[in-house]
C-alpha cells in the first residue's frame, strides 16, 4: 500500500539524525548558547514492558515532538529527552517464573522500546537517556531519601498497611481499588508493619496553594485539591464520664456542638477498650473483631450503618449534657482523630445512624424538616445556649466564629485544619526497586542511615526473587547482601524493603538536565537555564499520584536549594486514550434468538471482560456477538440490524486489550504506512486531550495525503525528477501559502494539531489543482510539514537541493500582505436568518456594503415593504437587517 517510498526515506533520515547527532543539546557548561530562549518539553517516561510499544504511547510523544521540532525552528534551545521508568513488578514476576535477573529483562525491553521509538522519528536527545534502574541514577534517588530523612520527612512507623497475600507484598492506599489490588485484583487485608513513611502532609498547604499558578487541566487541579482535602474546623475535647480520659473530635461544624446527641469512636480507637462498660464489653469486642476481619471493600459496601453502644458517656463541653459513646465503622480511624461528635440533625451520615439506632435528633439550625432528613444548609441557630455560651439567632458563619472563640477561650477546643492527605507509605516488599540506604545493627538499636559516601547501595546481582510470603521482601533471603556492617563497625542487616515505583519518577525530569553529573544531582547552571518544564504531556491516570509526589519532592529540593522553582511542571496536558476500532455487538439468547440492546442488563465490573449480561425481562443469560458494519444501519439514536430493525445493537469502541484482541501494534502500522503516516494520523484523529477510537481507514486517509504531497514534488514514474515549477507564484498561490503558514503556526502554538493538518491538506488540494507547485512555495510548505512528517520533509528538502537538515531551518514567516484578499464574501441576514451572500471589496465602507446587500435580489424580497428597524454591520463578515 506504499504510495511513496517511505521505507527508504524513513530509514535514511533516522540514520542521518543518529549519525549527525542532529538533536543533541549540549549542556550549559559544555557550550550551549544560552542567549537563546529555553524550551523544555517532556513526555512522561514509559515503563518498558515486555509487550513493547502500544499505539497509545506515540500519541503524546508525537505531540511533544511536533512542539520540539517547531520550537527548534523558531530559534529555541529545546530539551526533549526520553528515559525509562524501569523498576516494577512485571520484570520481577518474570524473574520469579524464569530465574532471569530483572536487570537482564529490563535491558532487553529498553532496547526494544528504544528501537521502536527511534523508528517513529522522534527528535529525542538520546545522549541524555536515563533509566531509574541504573545505579548511577538511583544513587541520587537514595541521596534524596537521605535528605528527606535529614529533614525529618522520612520516618519508620508501625502503620496499618494493605497486605496483599496474592502479590506477597504491601500496597499503597492508592494501589488498592475496592479492597483489591489494582494490579491482579487480589484481596487485600490490614496488617500492622514497621515501614518507611514520608511526611508529605507537612507540605499539604504548599501543595495546595501552589496549584494556583499552574497551567494544568482543571480536572487534574480539582483532583489534587480533593486528594489533599483541606478542611477547616475545630478540635473539641469531650471528657469521659467516670474515666480519666478525654475524647478529642474533629469537626467542620463546631457551630452545631449543641446538637451533638451522641459520639462515635472508630473501632480501632485506642480508648474503646478502656471506656467500655462490663455489660457492653462482649458486644463491643465482637463488633471490633468483626470489623478488623473485614476488608475495606466489605466495610464500605454495606451502606446501612452498624455500631454498638459502649455504655460510656461523655460530657458535652458546651452545656454539660451527657452524650452516649458508640463504636461504629462509619468513622474512620485514619481521618481526623478517629472519633466524631455526631450531630444527626445536621449531618446526613449521623442522621442515618441515629435513625437506625433510635438516637435523639435535635434541631440546632432552623430551616429544615428533621422528620424527613438532616438539614445541612444555612439558617439561624436554635436550642444553642447554655450558661457558658449562646449561638441562638446566629447564622452558620457567625455561629462558627462565636463557637470557635468560646472553645479557645474556655480551653475546650481549638481551631484545626485537617487534611485527607495522609503520609506516604514509602516501602515495598519487593526485589526490583531502589534499596534504602539504611542498615539495622544486629543489637536491635534503631536504624542507621548511611552516609552519602556509601551511595549507591546496589541491588544484589543474584537472588531468589520470590516473595517470602511474609511481610519481609525477597531481599531478606539474599544473605550475603543483607549481612553487612554499620558505619561504626557493628554487624548489621540492611533494610530489605525497597522504594516504590514512584520514587524514580519523582525527579527524573531534573536528571535529564545533567544526566552524567557524578558529583551533583543536577548542576545549578543547568537547572537555572532549563527549569521549569515548559510542557509536560502524559496520561490522566497520573493526575494525582505521580504528579503530587513529584511536586512534593520538588518542594523539598527547593527547600534545600537544589532547584530554584517552586513547581516542576508549568504546563500539563493529558493525551486522551486511543480506543480500538468501533465494534458492533448484537445480543442473542441461549436459543440463538436476537435480543435488543434495550432488553440487556449487565453487572458493573471494573473490567469489561468480567461482566455478565442477561435479558432484563426474564433474567436469562445472553451473549454478545460481533456483527460486521455492513450488517447494521443507523436508526434513531442508535444502530439496528439490517435484517431486523427491531433489534438494536451496541456500537462502541472499547479499550484496547489483549483479551478483546483489538490491540493495534504500531510496528505493523509503520511497516504498512510508514512512521510519518502513523504520526500524522494520531494527530489528525481529533483533539489531543480527547478519547478517540482508532480507525485503520483513517490512517489510509492521511497516508494518501502524504502521497499527494509527495507527488507535488516528485514524479512517480521516474522518481527523483522534480516536478516543481520555476514560475513566479501568483498572488492567489501566495495567499494560499501564507494562510496555511498562519493557520499551522497558530494551531501548533495552541496544540490543535488536527486542524493544522487540515490546513496543510487544503493547501495540497489547492496545489494539486494548480498543476505545478512553484518552487517559491514548495520550500516553506516543506518546513511547515516538517514537525509532523519529518522524514518526508527532510527528503523533499534534500531533493530541493539543500545539503543540511531542516531541523534548524527558520520557521516560515507569514507575510501580512497575503493574508487579506481584495474581496470578501459577506453574509446578509434579515431578522437573523441568512437570505443571501454578496461579494464586496475588502475595504468597502459600511454604506456601500449595506447598499449592495439591499440590492441583493433575495434580500430585497424580504425587505420589500418592511420598515428596517436596525442595521447590523460586522466588517468583512456579515450585515443584518431587522425589520
Partner RNA sequence: GCCGAAGUGGCGGAACGGUAGACGCAUCGGACUUAAAAUCCGCUGGGGCACCCGCCCCGUACGGGUUCGAAUCCCGUCUUCGGCACCA
833 touching RNA, by CB under 7 A: yes
299 contacts RNA (rule: CB under 7 A):
yes
Q: Shortest approach of RNA to residue 856 CB, angstroms?
A: 8
**Is 815 strand, coil or helix?**
coil
Q: Would you say 597 and 638 are in contact if contact means Cβ atoms under 8 Å apart?
A: yes
Contact with RNA (CB under 7 A): which of 111, 115, 442, 825?
825
Torsion of CA 275, 276, 278, 284, to 10 degrees: -160
Stretch that binds RNA, among 203-211, 344-352, 429-437, 718-726 (CB under 7 A): 344-352
Is residue 226 involved in binding RNA (CB under 7 A)? Answer: yes
User: How many CB atoms sit inside 10 A of residue 219's CB?
Assistant: 12
Q: Near RNA by CB under 7 A, which window of 197-205, 219-227, 504-512, 619-627?
A: 219-227
Asked if 63 touches RNA (CB under 7 A), the answer is: no
- Minimum Å gap between C-beta 171 and RNA is 13
Phi first, then psi: give them for residue 588, nearest 5 degrees.
Answer: -135, 150
Tell me which residues in 228-247 interact with RNA (CB under 7 A).
229, 231, 233
Residue whose CB is less far from RNA, 438 or 548: 548
Burial of 795 (0-12, 13-18, 19+ CB in 10 A): buried
- Give the strand order in the sheet containing 870-874: 833-841, 823-830, 878-882, 870-874
Closest separation between CB of residue 196 and RNA, Å?
Answer: 22
CB-based contacts of 451-455 (< 8 A; 24+ apart in sequence):
451/487, 452/143, 452/146, 454/487, 455/139, 455/142, 455/143, 455/146
DSSP state of 750: T
* Binding track, positions 706-745, relative to RNA; x by CB under 7 A: -xx--x----------------------------------
Q: Can you tell me which of 698, 723, 734, 780 binds RNA, judged by CB under 7 A?
A: 698
Asked if 836 touches RNA (CB under 7 A), the answer is yes
Interface residue with RNA among 104, 356, 366, 834 (CB under 7 A) is: 834
Strand 648-655 with 578-589, pairing = antiparallel
703 close to 673: Cβ distance less than 8 angstroms: yes
- Separation in Å, CA 156 to CA 199, 427, 495, 499: 11, 10, 11, 13
**Judged by CB under 7 A, which of 697, 726, 816, 865 binds RNA?**
697
- Among the listed residues 319, 695, 722, 802, the single contact to RNA using CB under 7 A: 695
Question: What's the min distance (Å) between Cβ of 751 and RNA?
Answer: 11
Q: Using CB atoms within 10 Å of the CB of residue 690, give its burial: 0 to 12 exposed, 13 to 18 middle, 19+ buried.
A: exposed
CB 57 within 8 Å of CB 46: yes
Tell me, by CB under 7 A, how many residues bind RNA. Answer: 88
Q: How far apart are CA 674 and CA 726, in angstroms?
A: 31
Which one, 359 or 809, has the nearer CB to RNA?
A: 359
Q: H or E stretch including 698? A: helix 696-713
Q: Which of 132, 835, 844, 853 binds RNA (CB under 7 A)?
A: 835
Measuring CA to CA, which residue among 391, 398, 380, 476 is closest to residue 436? Answer: 476
Which 3 state secondary structure label does DSSP give 413?
strand
Residue 302 interacting with RNA (CB under 7 A):
yes
Window contacting RNA (CB under 7 A); options: 96-104, 113-121, 347-355, 371-379:
347-355
Q: Least distance in Å: CB of 703 to RNA? A: 8
Smaller CB separation from RNA, 208 or 332: 332
- 445, 564, 659, 768: which one contacts RNA (CB under 7 A)? 768
Looking at beta carbons only, is 148 or 685 nearer to RNA?
685
Under the criterion CB under 7 A, does residue 658 sit at the interface with RNA?
no
Beta bridge partners of 624: 587
- Look at strands 413-418 and 613-615 and give their pairing: unpaired
Q: Which is nearer to RNA, 8 or 605 (CB)?
A: 605
Q: Shortest distance, CB of residue 118 to RNA, whole angstroms?
A: 27
**130 SS3 class:** strand
391-450: contacts with RNA (CB under 7 A):
418, 420
Region near RNA per CB under 7 A, out of 140-148, 424-432, 457-465, 871-879: 871-879
Judged by beta carbon, residue 366 or residue 874, the one nearer RNA is 874
* Of the candidate residues 129, 837, 860, 863, the single one contacting RNA (CB under 7 A): 837
Q: C-beta of 658: minimal distance to RNA in Å?
A: 18
821 forms part of the interface with RNA (CB under 7 A) = no
**Residue 81 beta carbon to RNA: minimum distance, rounded to whole angstroms:** 27
Residues paired with 572 in a beta bridge: 536
Within 548-607, the residues that bind RNA by CB under 7 A are 582
- Residue of 158, 619, 628, 769 interacting with RNA (CB under 7 A): 769
Measure Cα distances from 831 to 645, 808, 828 in Å. Answer: 42, 53, 10
Contact indicator for 459, 478 with CB cutoff of 8 Å: no
Cβ count within 10 A of residue 360: 11
> Closer to RNA at the Cβ: 16 or 357?
357
Q: Residue 690 interacts with RNA (CB under 7 A)? A: yes
Provide φ and ψ at 54, rounded to 5°. Answer: -115, 155
Q: Nearest CA to 697 among 664, 720, 746? A: 664
Residue 758 binds RNA, judged by CB under 7 A: yes
Task: By CB under 7 A, tell whether 831 contacts RNA.
Answer: yes
Between residues 590 and 629, which has the closer beta carbon with respect to RNA?
629
List all residues 6 or more positions away from 244 whose beta carbon is below 8 Å from its beta carbon: none
Q: Is the dihedral of CA 791, 797, 802, 806 positive or negative?
A: negative
Distance of closest approach, residue 716 Cβ to RNA, in angstroms: 8
**322 and 312 in contact (C-beta within 8 Å)?**
no
Residue 349 binds to RNA (criterion: CB under 7 A) = yes
**Interface with RNA, residue 645, by CB under 7 A:** no
Q: 115, 165, 222, 408: which one contacts RNA (CB under 7 A)?
A: 222
What minimum distance in Å lies between the beta carbon of 591 and RNA?
Answer: 28
**Residue 159 Cβ, how far from RNA at the closest point, in Å?**
16
Q: Among residues 16 and 227, whose Cβ is nearest to RNA?
A: 227
**662: Cα within 13 Å, side-chain hemisphere:** 19
Closest approach of RNA to the CB of residue 174, in Å = 7
Contact between 253 and RNA per CB under 7 A: yes
CB of 23 to RNA, least distance (A): 29
Contact residue for RNA among 18, 625, 691, 772 (CB under 7 A): 691
Show Cβ contacts of residue 224 under 8 Å, excluding neighbours closer than 6 positions: 207, 208, 211, 543, 544, 547, 548
Q: How far apart (Å, rounded) are the C-alpha atoms in residues 262 and 264?
A: 7
- Residue 63: partners with Cβ closer than 8 Å, 6 or more residues away: 537, 573, 575, 683, 688, 751, 753
Using CB under 7 A as the binding rule, whether residue 293 contacts RNA is answered as: no
Looking at residues 458 to 497 of the shown chain, list those that interact with RNA (rule: CB under 7 A). Answer: none
Residues 317-336 touching RNA, rule: CB under 7 A, are 329-332, 335-336
Long-range pairs of 294-299 with CB within 8 A, sequence gap ≥ 24: 294/329, 295/179, 295/187, 295/188, 295/189, 295/190, 296/162, 296/176, 296/179, 296/188, 296/190, 297/178, 297/179, 297/180, 298/179, 299/329
Phi and psi angles of residue 531, each rounded to the nearest 5 degrees, phi first: -75, 150
C-beta closer to RNA: residue 223 or 448:
223
Q: Which stretch binds RNA (CB under 7 A): 37-45, 747-755, 782-790, 794-802?
A: 747-755
634 is a contact residue toward RNA (CB under 7 A): yes
Among 705, 713, 797, 818, binds RNA (CB under 7 A): 705
Binding segment toward RNA, per CB under 7 A, in 222-230, 374-382, 426-434, 721-729? 222-230
Amino acid at each position: 500500500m506504499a504510495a511513496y517510498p517511505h521505507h527508504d526515506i524513513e530509514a535514511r533520515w533516522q540514520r542521518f539524525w543518529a549519525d549527525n547527532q542532529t538533536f543533541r543539546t549540549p549542556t550549559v557548561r559544555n557550550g550551549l548558547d544560552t542567549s537563546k530562549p529555553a524550551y523544555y518539553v517532556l513526555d512522561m517516561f514509559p515503563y518498558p514492558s515486555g509487550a513493547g510499544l502500544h499505539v497509545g504511547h506515540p500519541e503524546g510523544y508525537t505531540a511533544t515532538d511536533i512542539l520540539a521540532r517547531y520550537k527548534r525552528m523558531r530559534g529555541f534551545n529545546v530539551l526533549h529527552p526520553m528515559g525509562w521508568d524501569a523498576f516494577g513488578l512485571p520484570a520481577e514476576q518474570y524473574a520469579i517464573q524464569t530465574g532471569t535477573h530483572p536487570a537482564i529483562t529490563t535491558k532487553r525491553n529498553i532496547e526494544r522500546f528504544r528501537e521502536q521509538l527511534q523508528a517513529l522519528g522522534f527528535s529525542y536527545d538520546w545522549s541524555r537517556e536515563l533509566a531509574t534502574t541504573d545505579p548511577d541514577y538511583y544513587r541520587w534517588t537514595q541521596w534524596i531519601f537521605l535528605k528527606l530523612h535529614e529533614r525529618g520527612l522520612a520516618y519508620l512507623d508501625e502503620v496499618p498497611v494493605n497486605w496483599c497475600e496474592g502479590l506477597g507484598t504491601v500496597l499503597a492506599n492508592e494501589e488498592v481499588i475496592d479492597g483489591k489490588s489494582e494490579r491482579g485484583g487480589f484481596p487485600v487485608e490490614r496488617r500492622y508493619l514497621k515501614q518507611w513513611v514520608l511526611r508529605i502532609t507537612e507540605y499539604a498547604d504548599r501543595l495546595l496553594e501552589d496549584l494556583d499558578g499552574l497551567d494544568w487541566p482543571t480536572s487534574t487541579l480539582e483532583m489534587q485539591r480533593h486528594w489533599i482535602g483541606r478542611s477547616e474546623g475545630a478540635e473539641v475535647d469531650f471528657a469521659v464520664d467516670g474515666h480519666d480520659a478525654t475524647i478529642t473530635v474533629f469537626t467542620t461544624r463546631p457551630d452545631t456542638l449543641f446538637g451533638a446527641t451522641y459520639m462515635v469512636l472508630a473501632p480501632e480507637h485506642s480508648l474503646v477498650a478502656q471506656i467500655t462498660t462490663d455489660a457492653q464489653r462482649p458486644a463491643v469486642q465482637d463488633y471490633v473483631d468483626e470489623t478488623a476481619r473485614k476488608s475495606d471493600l466489605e466495610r464500605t459496601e454495606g451502606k446501612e450503618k452498624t455500631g454498638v453502644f459502649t455504655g460510656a458517656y461523655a460530657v458535652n463541653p458546651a452545656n454539660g449534657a451527657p452524650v452516649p459513646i458508640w463504636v461504629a465503622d462509619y468513622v474512620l480511624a485514619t481521618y481526623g482523630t478517629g472519633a466524631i461528635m455526631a450531630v444527626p440533625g445536621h449531618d446526613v451520615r449521623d442522621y442515618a445512624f441515629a435513625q437506625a439506632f433510635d438516637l435523639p435528633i435535635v434541631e440546632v439550625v432552623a430551616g429544615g424538616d428533621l422528620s424527613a432528613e438532616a438539614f445541612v444548609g444555612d439558617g439561624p441557630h436554635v436550642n444553642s445556649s447554655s450558661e457558658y455560651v449562646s449561638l441562638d439567632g446566629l447564622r452558620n458563619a457567625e455561629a462558627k466564629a462565636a463557637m470557635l472563640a468560646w472553645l479557645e477561650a474556655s480551653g475546650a477546643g481549638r481551631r484545626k485544619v485537617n487534611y485527607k492527605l495522609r503520609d506516604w507509605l514509602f516501602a515495598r516488599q519487593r526485589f526490583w526497586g531502589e534499596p534504602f540506604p539504611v542498615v539495622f545493627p544486629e543489637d536491635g538499636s534503631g536504624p542507621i542511615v548511611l552516609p552519602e559516601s556509601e551511595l549507591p547501595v546496589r541491588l544484589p546481582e543474584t537472588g531468589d526473587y520470590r516473595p517470602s510470603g511474609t511481610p519481609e521482601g525477597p531481599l531478606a533471603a539474599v544473605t550475603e547482601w543483607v549481612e553487612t556492617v554499620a558505619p561504626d563497625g557493628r554487624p548489621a542487616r540492611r533494610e530489605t524493603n525497597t522504594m516504590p515505583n514512584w520514587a524514580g519518577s519523582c525527579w527524573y525530569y531534573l536528571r535529564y538536565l545533567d544526566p552524567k553529573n557524578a558529583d551533583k544531582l543536577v548542576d545549578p547552571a543547568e537547572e537555572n537555564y532549563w527549569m521549569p518544564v515548559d510542557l509536560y504531556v502524559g496520561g490522566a491516570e497520573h493526575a494525582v499520584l505521580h504528579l503530587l509526589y513529584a511536586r512534593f519532592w520538588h518542594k523539598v529540593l527547593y527547600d534545600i536549594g537544589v532547584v530554584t522553582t517552586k513547581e516542576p511542571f508549568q504546563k500539563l496536558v493529558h493525551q486522551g486514550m486511543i480506543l480500538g476500532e468501533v465494534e458492533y455487538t448484537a445480543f442473542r439468547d441461549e436459543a440463538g434468538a436476537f435480543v435488543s440492546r434495550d432488553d440487556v442488563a449487565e453487572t458493573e465490573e471494573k473490567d469489561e471482560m468480567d461482566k455478565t449480561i442477561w435479558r432484563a425481562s426474564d433474567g436469562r443469560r445472553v451473549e454478545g456477538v460481533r456483527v460486521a458494519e455492513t450488517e447494521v444501519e443507523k436508526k434513531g439514536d442508535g444502530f439496528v440490524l439490517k435484517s431486523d430493525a427491531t433489534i438494536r445493537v451496541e456500537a462502541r469502541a472499547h479499550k484496547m486489550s489483549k483479551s478483546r484482541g483489538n490491540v493495534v501494534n504500531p510496528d505493523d502500522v509503520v511497516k504498512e504506512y510508514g512512521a510519518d503516516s502513523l504520526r500524522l494520523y494520531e494527530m489528525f484523529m481529533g483533539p489531543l486531550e480527547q478519547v478517540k477510537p482508532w480507525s485503520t481507514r483513517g490512517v489510509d486517509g492521511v497516508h494518501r495525503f502524504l502521497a499527494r504531497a509527495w507527488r507535488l514534488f516528485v514524479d512517480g514514474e521516474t522518481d527523483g525528477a522534480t516536478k516543481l515549477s520555476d514560475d513566479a507564484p501568483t498572488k492567489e498561490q501566495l495567499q494560499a501559502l501564507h494562510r496555511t503558514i498562519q493557520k499551522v503556526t497558530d494551531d501548533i502554538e495552541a496544540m490543535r494539531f488536527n486542524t493544522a493538518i487540515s490546513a496543510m491538506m487544503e493547501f495540497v488540494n489547492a496545489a494539486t489543482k494548480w498543476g505545478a507547485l512553484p518552487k517559491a512555495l514548495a520550500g516553506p510548505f516543506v518546513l511547515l510539514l516538517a514537525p509532523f512528517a519529518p522524514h518526508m520533509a527532510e527528503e523533499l528538502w534534500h531533493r530541493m537541493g539543500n545539503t543540511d537538515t531542516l531541523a534548524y531551518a527558520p520557521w516560515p514567516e507569514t507575510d501580512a500582505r497575503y493574508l487579506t484578499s481584495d474581496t470578501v464574501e459577506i453574509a446578509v441576514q434579515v431578522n437573523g436568518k441568512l437570505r443571501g451572500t454578496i461579494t464586496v471589496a475588502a475595504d468597502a465602507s459600511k454604506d456601500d456594503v449595506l447598499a449592495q446587500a439591499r440590492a441583493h435580489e433575495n434580500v430585497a424580497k424580504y425587505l420589500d415593504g418592511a420598515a428596517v428597524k436596525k442595521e447590523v454591520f460586522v466588517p468583512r463578515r456579515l450585515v443584518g437587517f431587522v425589520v
